[in-house]
Amino acid sequence: MAQFSRREFFRKTGLALAATAVSSKMTATVSEKELQKLVGKKSGFTMWQLNTQCNQIGNSYIFVTDKGRVIVMDGGFQSDEYYLRGFLAMLGNKVDTWFISHPHQDHMGSLMGILKEPRGIQIKRIIHSRFNEALINSENYCAKLCREFYEQLDKLSDTEVIDLTEPGREESIDGFNYKILGVSNPELLMNGYNNSSVIIRVWDRQKTILFLGDAGIECGNKLLNGPYRSLLDCDYMQMAHHGQNGCDEHFYKTVNFKACLWSTPQWVWENNAGKGINTHILKTFDTRRWMDEKGIKEHHVSWKGLWQLD
């Protein structure tokens, strides 16, 4: 990957740093001092919801802790790999922890590309919940890619791979805290990959976020009836399955939250297959209506651009 100036990268991403940090003569790596300017020290971590560069579905979030460690959630399609690589290069090319919700290509495609050709990116550990054979085979069109992903993980020698077999894992990474509320569900073979999304609650001193991955109705019901029901309430909710055909109305209207995170391209947001708004078969407008009825006013939709949360 060719290097580019920090000014060019800022222009492409819309990321804001102090003016003194911007120089066309500087490479795309942020110094430790500059990195501290990126982070909301009073909170515990800063998060970016990355926007797709190819108008594709995809789930991609990057965090920087109050001590400068980098954490990635999913990473999106391989077609967005260049953009993700640029972001990580600016942050120093060192990832402390990389979470993968489930092995669909719009969630782990970029990571697969990076594992094949790291080009300087160092990943300390990857956390996921491995599928059994029945679950892998529940979606024939995804099984081959899923196995390739697991083969890549099995070959890693310098990266720790943590396989979550039970919910409940809790950890603090500087000011970034997380708890695993859900792991793979081999009993839910209908819509199996989505319903086996890893469910993660993230929080610091000022905010809480619930990441649902692509959870479907059955996964949502299991969460509502499980031991971590009270931990589903949050400030920010990542809308399941890109905001369409994921968790149902009962789930969203039962859980308390204040704002929505939509990892959603424009055509999904508008339910538009090329014939006009709301002319496609997607269920996005149902979810949007539920949010209106719930009184949610704050929406952060990835197709509208990079969004930062301090």
Does residue 4 belong to any structural domain of this protein? Answer: no
Does residue 64 belong to any structural domain of this protein? Answer: yes
Does residue 310 belong to any structural domain of this protein? Answer: no
Other CB atoms within a 10 A radius of the CB of residue 145 amount to 16
Does residue 8 belong to any structural domain of this protein? Answer: no
Does residue 126 belong to any structural domain of this protein? Answer: yes
pLDDT band at 20 (very low <50, low <70, confident <90, very high): very low
Does residue 19 belong to any structural domain of this protein? Answer: no
Instruction: List the one residue out of 151, 153, 152, 155 whose CA is nearest residue 127.
Output: 153
Instruction: Produce one character per residue of 52-84: b if its CB has 16 or more CB atoms within 10 Å, e if not.
Output: bbeebbbbbbbbbbbbbbbbbbbbbbbbbbebb
Kindly report, residue by residue over 74-88, the tens digit of the pLDDT: 999 989 999 999 999
Give the count of domains, the chain.
1
Of the two residues 142 and 37, the one the predictor is more confident about is 142
- Is the pLDDT at 40 greater than 60? The verdict is no
127-137: average pLDDT: 98
Query: What does the alpha-carbon distance between residue 305 and residue 289 come to, in Å, rounded to a whole number?
Result: 22
- Is the pLDDT at 17 greater than 50? The verdict is no
Domain of residue 80, CATH code: 3.60.15.10
pLDDT band at 27 (very low <50, low <70, confident <90, very high): very low
For position 64, what pLDDT does the model report?
96
The answer to whether the pTM exceeds 0.85 is yes
pLDDT band at 265 (very low <50, low <70, confident <90, very high): very high
Does residue 122 belong to any structural domain of this protein? Answer: yes
Query: What does the alpha-carbon distance between residue 216 and residue 209 come to, in Å, rounded to a whole number?
Result: 18
pLDDT band at 139 (very low <50, low <70, confident <90, very high): very high
Does residue 14 belong to any structural domain of this protein? Answer: no
Range of the domain at 144: 27-304
